């Protein structure tokens, strides 16, 4: 859906007046143009923007005086022209060497020449009706007759006619056209039959055999051309007897006619030429009328042919036209004034403001408001018919006024005033005929075309006329007196562009019926002309300011135009301070659109442009280099000023991308050198593949399902529709998820809940966005407004059923839309506080109350569903009138709650059922009965929303067996399953029944209460229930007040605590029931010796029994690893001094052992025992420290070797151009475990290398503690593993002397000094100090190397967690050392 506009018209060449009658025009793929004139002149011109005459190719003097050129073609292989003359000469002209050779002569003269697409074969049509196929060596491959009306059967049988008798009269013009692949060619033009009818014939290339022919038809001379794609052959036909107009018919390769269209105009119209462009998209027709000639451009879409453009030329002089062989939208024509014009066409969007589609179709303009009626052309909402073909249109809709300006091919201008858009429904299917505007001072140049029509104001219009250099002098006096001249030079003699500003006024005094179109009474009140010595590519009105427009020049520069002031050529920096920077494009962009955007709250203009190479540009920067179409979306539709928020564009990869304008406006563009100049690679960081915006969430990429589909329009606001047109012409509408979510978000912010719900339902969006976008707390506050505005209980029910705890703004739509939260809430214990709530809302065990203090914290997400449904239910109950739908909606809020409030829902149903029964018995209509809502229907609705088993259990929970039976029946349960159970319950006493139901439903607290109410006979069941559910013991104590029963409960509770090894609590429970023997056992099991001995006193045990108990406790404490506690019992209760001393030595309490020995006069004995144990422990530690020093050295050496190997490997990979991230982790750690003979992980002795050394008096105890600590630290290190280097550093750090080890070492040194073993103490301190200094130095060395690598950015992947290494409390001072033992 588009219009073809004349983008540029450049005067390439101007020749004298007597050379205005060319007979042939030829353009080749190398960019050369050849023109053949009468009187045997041939000119060659280079086809560029500044086309100039290069040389005159003279013909041999052997030509006769009346000889003329009748055929002309270009031979690709030989890079030469082949020229045919009326006398039959074939002349080869080589432009490069300016040589002319006669290569042959045919009888009857040359009618036409056509070379095959590959240049290997040349077809020559002679005046005697023969077709000659010639090779590049000028050998005749075959010769056939193209006039077979008299001997067609003979030709098809394989024989040829003898001679050419009967063809003495000269033939009419003949046309030969090749198919694009060169396998077939078509001919048209012969003497015809007796009725003057001719046949279109299709010939095979290789043999010259007639492949097919059409039915005899009244073709119009030889206007015929085969579509380059090979699908159809277009041929012109004479005036039809029925339609009274010329037509163009299309034929397939088999000769059958497949479609046609009529040429607009009078019966005198004659089609002289038909030409396809190189991509078979456009068909050009050269049509001659009595007073003018015209070039018409036709396009096919959706099974309809549209006349998209027509240029008229006065007089009957010869007019020629040719397409560019390589560029489909460029053409060249020879005008009646002897000018050669280079024409540049472009497709422009036919969708204007407010999504109004205005499609040009000859004299008709098809108008369709896409937001009202989405129909593809040629269908339309209504049709406007004009007096001549439409060249350009401009539409404006500002406020209540909508105007359409139409430039016609006869040079006139027509204005159509539309009614208010609310009344366009009345125009459906109508056809309106218009009248033209009084041209007044409008200058006409060859029926001057007014291009780039643009409305500056509802009554001011701006356009461009092109005036060639030689024609400008015709108006020099008028220019000097009336026109403004702007010195904008673009180089070259391309003529001038004339900006025409017209102020229109409507003098129509007749009243127009409401809802009708009006076009009469329009006149030009005043006009102003501005001459620009440069071509104008595009004009676009400023969307922010009236009477201002942006004009794009041929080199991509942009200037501003002010009404009645002219061109504003102020520096871009000065204009930037107003609204925009007017920065030009890198190349001229036929598609230019200025849009209003917000920049930090300030309204500015951003100008986008798309060039012919597919580069989408803005502010001199390229957004996408493969763009095919683009448009804009304004989410603020309906407001005073629509501000564009998103850019939508399609690419050659058939992708549709939605980009945020803010990202474009404030994004940084990075450039990468690409040979000549700089090539932009996108905003922000560079991506692989297609250039596009990269920030997640700011673009949405969709795959277009049909190849080649283009974006033609956007419906702004809540509609959020993107309209695409496929190649075949039909329209498709898609709704990008991002735009839909933006529309929903806008509706929610404005509290347009009905529009938001409508969008959610229409586009299948998750309903939770209505709650989550602004936060569920805000929704709770607006629940009343939500229900009131929706006013549709079915929609509210859908919303309630869709609610989930999941926050879709953090999951489903996280990368598309940012939430609009207002977190005024806190959480405090079991109460949840919200702001701006009027009254407390009871949520079971939770309460929502008002909170005035600021600084609230986020509430648990699990409250969302419950809070929202409670708020909606409250509004439904208070503000909505009673109806079946309301009651069902309330039921839905209860059933969909989390957890479901099925019991509450069943209570409502039970109440309705009771009301039904009462109404039936009393014959009085109750409230609910009057609503025609039965309890059975409500129950079925509840069963549909919930699991039937859950509803059945909820009914049982109400202890209503009859209701439970009804639920079971309606849930299609087998009566054999539930009836016996219900009958059994019915036969039980009420408390027992309730107890049985509660046990089945696992409601044990209620079950305990019910069975307790059944009497003392059921106390055993109560006790068993508490034993099976220990949490009920506290409730049981609260229920039962009898002392005996409480004692039984406490004893059972104590047994339970003892089984869970909660010995102290169990002992307290036993003590409460005076079960001291059980309490004693609990204290002993828990190692609580003081409480156990106290309990022995409570039991009044004898001395022997206490002594025996003390011995047992002493042994148990030793087994538990508490020798110091056992020593206290042995000394205090067992009176075993020696045993106590031995236990103290085991506990490493050296000084305490000496004190006890001296206290009981055993000093010498104890002194010797302590001395031997201390020396033994010191020797063991010296050995371990010595081994530890060796281990530290091995670990450090191994670490340095692994690190060096990794660095060498990384350097090698970097030299090879591979990134370290591309290499497997194992590659960095493939270091042999036998480097330097180290095997630190396997050659250890009995003790571990851990530095957290013990000073135990027994080696086995020390080894046990070290093994345990090593297990905690993670086990052994695997040589060559990926984490070896990091593990080595971590292990070195773990070998530090802990604070406890230092304290024990200091106590041992003190004991050795007291016992006179100074040499042993000195040696122990020396080895311990050496070990500690060695370990600290190794750790410091390793950490320094890691820090150095991280600072240089060269740390490998194994060191990425080096910052997280554990610090084990290394002391900088050696506080455990005795200075007297230190060396001097």
pLDDT at res. 93? 84
pLDDT of residue 124: 93
Please calculate the CA angle 1186-1192-1193 and round it to the nearest 5 degrees: 95
Residue tagged 């005795």 (tokens): 1378
pLDDT one-digit tens code per residue, 1153-1196: 888 877 877 777 777 888 888 888 888 888 988 898 888 888 88
> Residue 361's pLDDT is what?
93
**Residue 298 in contact with residue 374, Cβ under 8 Å?**
no
Does residue 830 surpass a pLDDT of 60?
Answer: no
Q: How confident is the model at residue 211 (pLDDT cuts 50, 70, 90)?
A: very high
Mean of the pLDDT values across residues 380-387? 91
Confidence at residue 241, expressed as pLDDT on a 0 to 100 scale = 57
> Per residue in 1289-1298, pLDDT tens?
888 888 888 8
pLDDT value at residue 696: 39
What is the pLDDT at residue 165?
35
The residue among 1372 and 905 whose pLDDT is bigger is: 905
pLDDT tens digit sequence for 62-99:
456 667 888 888 888 888 888 888 888 888 888 777 78
| Residues 297-320, mean pLDDT to the nearest whole number | 86
Nearest CA among 85, 84, 83 for reference residue 66: 85
- Cβ contacts of 1170 within 8 Å, gap of 6 or more: 1145, 1150, 1153, 1154, 1157, 1311, 1315
Average the pLDDT over 729-746 and give the result. 90
- For residue 769, what pLDDT is reported? 94
Distance of alpha carbon 1242 from alpha carbon 1037, whole angstroms: 62
**235 pLDDT exceeds 90?**
yes
Q: What is the pLDDT of residue 510?
A: 61
Kind of pairing, strands 184-188 and 201-204? Answer: antiparallel
Which of 57-61, 785-789, 1170-1174, 1275-1279 has the highest mean predicted lDDT (pLDDT)?
785-789
pLDDT category at 1114 given cuts 50, 70, 90 is: confident
Residue 606: exposure state from Cβ atoms within 10 A (0-12, 13-18, ≥19): buried
Q: Across residues 425-438, what is the average pLDDT?
A: 80
Half-sphere exposure of 168 (CA within 13 A, CB side): 2
Nearest of 254, 118, 251 to residue 182 by alpha carbon? 118
Whole-number pLDDT of residue 64: 62
Give the mean model confidence (pLDDT) for residues 1197-1219. 81
pLDDT band at 759 (very low <50, low <70, confident <90, very high): very high
Highest averaged pLDDT of the listed ranges 672-686, 701-715, 1108-1122, 1210-1224: 701-715
Query: Which helix H or strand E contains 287, and what residues bound it?
Result: strand 282-288
Mean pLDDT across the stretch 941-964?
88
**CB neighbourhood size of 84 (10 A):** 26
Give yes or no for a cis peptide into 899 (omega within 30° of 0): yes
Q: How far apart are CA 1241 and CA 531, in angstroms?
A: 92
Q: State pTM to two decimals.
A: 0.72
Q: What is the arithmetic mean of pLDDT over 101-124?
A: 90
Return the sign of the alpha-carbon dihedral for residues 43, 44, 47, 50. Answer: negative
Per-residue pLDDT band for 694 (boundaries 50, 70, 90) equals very low
Quick one: pLDDT at residue 128?
84
Continuous segment of H or E residues that includes residue 113: strand 110-115
pLDDT band at 1147 (very low <50, low <70, confident <90, very high): confident
Q: What is the model's pLDDT at position 204?
A: 94
Residue 1212: pLDDT over 80: yes
Length, in residues, of the chain: 1384
Q: Which of 203-212, 616-625, 812-821 has the highest mean pLDDT?
A: 203-212
Least confident of 202-216, 511-525, 642-656, 1070-1084: 511-525
- Whether 1315 shows a pLDDT value over 90: the answer reads no
Determine the pLDDT at residue 34. Answer: 62
Rounded CA separation 164/143 (Å): 12
Place of tokens 């982790």: 1225
* Whether residue 952 has a cis bond before it, omega within 30° of 0: no
- DSSP sequence for 833-878: EESS-SS-EEETTEEEEE---S---PPPGGGHHHHHHHHHHHHHHH
Contacts of 676 (CB under 8 A, 6+ apart): none
Mean pLDDT over 207-230 rounds to 89
* Predicted pLDDT of residue 1302: 82
Find the mean pLDDT for residues 338-367.
87
Specify the pLDDT at position 189. 79
Structure confidence at residue 1384 as a pLDDT band (50, 70, 90): low
Give the pLDDT band of residue 754 (cuts 50, 70, 90): very high
Quick one: 1289 exposed, middle or buried, by C-beta within 10 A (0-12, 13-18, 19+)?
buried
Q: How confident is the model at residue 173 (pLDDT cuts 50, 70, 90)?
A: confident
Question: Closest by alpha carbon to 588, among 555, 539, 626, 550?
Answer: 555
Choice between 851 and 127, residue whose per-residue pLDDT is larger: 127
DSSP class per residue in 149-172: TTTHHHHHTT---SS-TT--SPP-
Which ranges constitute the DSSP H helices of 366-505? 469-472, 476-482
Q: Does the structure show a pLDDT above 90 at 796?
A: yes
**Which tokens hold the place of 387?**
């007096």
List beta partners, residue 647: 632, 659
Sign of the C-alpha dihedral, residues 1026, 1027, 1033, 1037? positive
What is the predicted pLDDT for the residue at 400? 74
pLDDT digits (tens, 9 = 90+) for 1040-1084: 888 888 889 988 998 899 889 888 888 888 888 888 888 888 888
3-state secondary structure of 683: strand
Position with higher pLDDT, 223 vs 468: 223
pLDDT band of residue 1213 (cuts 50, 70, 90) is confident
Token code pair at residue 404: 């359409």
pLDDT value, residue 338: 67
Q: How far apart are CA 1367 and CA 1375, in angstroms?
A: 19
Contacts of 979 (CB under 8 A, 6+ apart): 965
- Strand pairing of 831-834 and 846-850? parallel
Quickly state the pLDDT bin for 479 (edges 50, 70, 90): very low
pLDDT top residue among 1269 and 849: 1269
Looking at every residue in the chain, the average pLDDT score rounds to 77
Spatial distance between the Cα atoms of 1267 and 1285, rounded to a whole number of angstroms: 23
Q: Are 90 and 75 in contact (CB under 8 A)?
A: no
pLDDT of the residue at 856: 37
Identify the pLDDT of residue 1293.
84
Spell out the alpha helix ranges (H) of 546-688: 572-576, 661-666
CA torsion angle 398 400 405 406 (round to 10):
120
For the chain, what percent of residues have pLDDT higher than 90? 19
In this predicted structure, which of 762-771, 1238-1247, 1341-1350 has the lowest mean pLDDT?
Answer: 1238-1247
β partners of residue 474:
none
- Report whether pLDDT(1361) > 60: no
Concatenated DSSP letters of 1337-1353: HHHHHHHHHHHHHHHHT
Mean pLDDT value across residues 791-812: 91
Question: How far lies 625's CA from each of 100, 540, 653, 682, in Å?
Answer: 47, 23, 11, 10
526 confidence band (pLDDT: 50, 70, 90): confident
């Amino acid at each position: 859906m588009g219009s073809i506009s004349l983008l540029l018209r450049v005067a390439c060449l101007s020749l004298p007046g007597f050379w205005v009658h060319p007979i042939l025009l030829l353009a080749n793929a190398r960019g050369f143009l050849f023109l053949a004139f009468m009187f045997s002149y041939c000119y060659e011109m280079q086809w560029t923007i500044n086309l100039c005459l290069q040389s005159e190719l003279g013909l041999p003097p052997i030509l006769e005086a009346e000889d003329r050129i009748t055929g002309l073609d270009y031979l690709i292989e030989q890079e030469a022209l082949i020229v045919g003359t009326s006398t039959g000469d074939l002349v080869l002209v080589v432009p490069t060497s300016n040589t002319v050779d006669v290569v042959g002569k045919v009888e009857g003269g040359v009618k036409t020449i056509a070379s095959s697409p590959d240049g290997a074969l040349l077809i020559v049509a002679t005046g005697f009706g023969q077709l000659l196929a010639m090779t590049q060596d000028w050998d005749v491959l075959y010769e056939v007759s193209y006039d077979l009306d008299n001997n067609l059967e003979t030709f098809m049988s394989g024989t040829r006619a003898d001679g050419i008798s009967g063809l003495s009269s000269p033939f009419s013009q003949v046309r030969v056209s090749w198919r694009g692949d060169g396998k077939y060619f078509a001919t048209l033009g012969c003497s015809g039959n007796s009725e003057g009818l001719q046949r279109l014939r299709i010939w095979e290339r290789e043999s010259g055999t007639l492949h097919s022919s059409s039915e005899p038809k009244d073709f119009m001379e030889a206007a015929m051309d085969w579509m380059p794609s090979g699908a159809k052959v277009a041929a012109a036909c004479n005036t039809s007897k029925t339609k009274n107009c010329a037509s163009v018919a299309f034929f397939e390769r088999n000769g059958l006619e497949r479609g046609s269209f009529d040429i607009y105009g009078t019966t005198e119209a004659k089609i002289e030429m038909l030409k396809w462009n190189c991509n078979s998209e456009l068909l050009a027709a050269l049509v001659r009328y009595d007073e003018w000639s015209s070039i018409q451009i036709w396009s096919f879409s959706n099974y309809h042919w549209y006349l998209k453009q027509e240029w008229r030329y006065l007089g009957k002089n010869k007019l020629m036209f040719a397409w560019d062989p390589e560029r489909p939208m460029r053409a060249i024509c020879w005008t009646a004034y002897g000018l050669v014009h280079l024409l540049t066409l472009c497709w422009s969007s036919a969708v204007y403001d407010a999504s109004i589609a205005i499609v040009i179709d000859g004299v008709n303009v098809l108008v369709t408001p896409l937001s009202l009626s989405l129909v593809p052309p040629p269908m339309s909402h209504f049709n406007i018919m004009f007096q001549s073909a439409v060249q350009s249109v401009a539409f404006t809709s500002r406020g209540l006024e909508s105007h359409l300006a139409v430039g016609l091919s006869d040079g006139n201008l027509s204005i159509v005033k539309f009614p208010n858009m609310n009344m366009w429904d009345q125009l459906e299917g109508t056809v309106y005929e218009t009248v033209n505007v009084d041209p007044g001072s409008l200058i006409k140049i060859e029926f001057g075309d007014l291009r780039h029509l643009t409305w500056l104001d509802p009554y001011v219009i701006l356009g461009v006329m092109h005036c060639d250099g030689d024609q400008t002098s015709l108006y020099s006096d008028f220019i000097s007196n009336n026109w403004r001249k702007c010195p904008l030079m673009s180089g070259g003699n391309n003529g001038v562009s004339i900006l025409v500003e017209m102020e229109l006024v409507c003098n129509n005094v007749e009243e127009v019926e409401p809802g009708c179109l009006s076009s009469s009474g329009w006149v030009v009140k005043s006009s102003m002309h501005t001459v620009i010595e440069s071509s104008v590519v595009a004009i676009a009105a400023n969307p922010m300011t009236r009477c201002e427009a942006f004009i794009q020049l041929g080199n991509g520069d942009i200037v501003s135009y002010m009404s009645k002031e002219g061109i504003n050529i102020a520096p871009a920096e000065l204009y930037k301070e107003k609204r925009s920077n007017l920065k030009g494009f890198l190349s001229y962009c036929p598609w230019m659109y200025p849009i209003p955007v917000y920049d930090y709250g300030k309204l500015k203009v951003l100008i986008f442009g798309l060039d012919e190479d597919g580069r989408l540009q803005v502010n001199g920067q390229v957004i996408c280099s493969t763009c095919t179409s683009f448009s804009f979306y304004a989410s603020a539709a309906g407001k005073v000023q629509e501000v564009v928020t998103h850019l939508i564009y399609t690419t050659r990869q058939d992708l549709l991308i939605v980009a945020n304008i803010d990202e474009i406006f404030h994004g940084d563009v990075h450039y990468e050198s690409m040979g000549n100049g700089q090539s932009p690679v996108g905003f922000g960081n560079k991506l692989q593949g297609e250039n596009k915006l990269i920030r997640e969430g700011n673009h949405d990429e969709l795959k277009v399902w049909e190849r080649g589909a283009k974006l033609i329009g956007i419906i702004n606001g809540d509609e959020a529709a993107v309209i695409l047109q496929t190649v075949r012409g039909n329209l498709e509408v898609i709704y990008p998820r991002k735009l839909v979510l933006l529309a929903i978000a806008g509706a929610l912010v404005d509290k347009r809940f009905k529009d938001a719900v409508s969008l959610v339902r229409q586009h299948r969006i998750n309903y939770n966005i209505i709650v989550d976008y602004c936060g569920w707390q805000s929704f709770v506050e607006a629940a009343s407004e939500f229900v009131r505005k929706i006013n549709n209980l079915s929609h509210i029910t859908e919303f309630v059923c869709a609610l989930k705890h999941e926050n879709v703004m953090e999951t489903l739509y996280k990368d598309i839309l940012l939430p609009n939260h207002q977190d005024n809430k806190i959480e405090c214990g079991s109460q949840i506080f919200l702001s701006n709530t009027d009254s407390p809302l009871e949520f079971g065990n939770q309460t929502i109350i008002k909170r005035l203090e600021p600084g609230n914290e986020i509430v648990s997400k699990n409250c969302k569903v419950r809070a929202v449904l409670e708020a909606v239910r409250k509004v439904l109950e208070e503000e909505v009138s009673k109806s079946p739908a309301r009651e069902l909606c309330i039921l839905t809020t209860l059933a969909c709650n989390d957890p479901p409030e099925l019991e509450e829902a069943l209570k409502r149903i039970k109440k309705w059922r009771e009301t039904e029964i009462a109404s039936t018995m009393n014959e009085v209509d109750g409230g609910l009965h009057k609503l025609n809502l039965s309890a059975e229907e409500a129950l079925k609705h509840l069963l549909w929303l919930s699991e039937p088993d859950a509803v059945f259990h909820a009914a049982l929970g109400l202890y209503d067996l009859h209701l439970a039976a009804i639920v079971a029946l309606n849930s299609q349960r087998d009566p054999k399953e539930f009836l016996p159970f219900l009958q059994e319950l019915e036969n039980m006493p009420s408390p027992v029944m309730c107890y049985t139901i509660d046990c089945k439903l696992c409601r044990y607290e209620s079950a305990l209460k019910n069975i307790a109410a059944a009497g003392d006979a059921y106390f055993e069941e109560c006790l068993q229930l508490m034993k099976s559910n220990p949490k009920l013991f506290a409730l049981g104590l609260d229920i039962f007040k009898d002392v005996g029963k409480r004692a039984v409960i406490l004893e059972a509770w104590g047994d339970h605590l003892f089984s869970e090894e909660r010995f102290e609590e169990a002992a307290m429970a036993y003590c409460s029931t005076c079960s001291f023997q059980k309490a004693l056992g609990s204290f002993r099991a828990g190692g609580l010796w003081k409480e156990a001995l106290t309990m022995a006193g409570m039991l009044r045990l004898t001395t022997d029994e206490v002594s025996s108990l003390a011995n047992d406790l002493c042994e148990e404490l030793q087994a538990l690893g508490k020798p110091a506690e056992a020593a206290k019992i042995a000394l205090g209760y067992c009176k075993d001094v020696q045993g106590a001393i031995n236990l103290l030595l085991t506990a490493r309490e050296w000084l305490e052992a000496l004190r006890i020995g001296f206290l009981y006069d055993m000093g010498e004995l104890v002194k010797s025992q302590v001395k031997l144990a201390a020396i033994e422990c010191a020797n063991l530690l010296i050995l371990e420290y010595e081994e530890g020093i060796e281990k530290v050295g091995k670990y450090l050496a191994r670490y340095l070797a692994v690190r060096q190997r990794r660095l060498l490997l990384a350097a090698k990979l970097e030299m090879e151009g591979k990134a370290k991230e591309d290499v497997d982790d194992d590659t960095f750690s493939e270091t042999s475990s036998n480097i330097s003979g180290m095997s630190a992980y396997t050659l250890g002795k009995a003790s571990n290398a851990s530095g957290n050394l013990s000073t135990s008096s027994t080696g086995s105890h020390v080894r046990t503690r070290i093994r345990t600590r090593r297990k905690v630290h993670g086990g052994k290190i695997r040589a060559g593993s990926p984490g070896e280097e990091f593990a080595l550093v971590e292990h070195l750090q773990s070998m530090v002397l802990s604070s406890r080890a230092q304290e024990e070492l200091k106590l041992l040194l003190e004991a050795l000094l007291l016992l006179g073993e100074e040499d042993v103490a000195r040696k122990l301190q020396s080895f311990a100090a050496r070990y500690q200094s060695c370990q600290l130095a190794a750790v410091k060395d390793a950490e320094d190397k890691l820090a150095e690598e991280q600072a240089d950015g060269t740390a490998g992947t194994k060191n990425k967690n080096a910052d997280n290494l554990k610090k084990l409390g290394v002391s900088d001072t050696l506080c455990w050392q005795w200075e007297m033992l230190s060396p001097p």
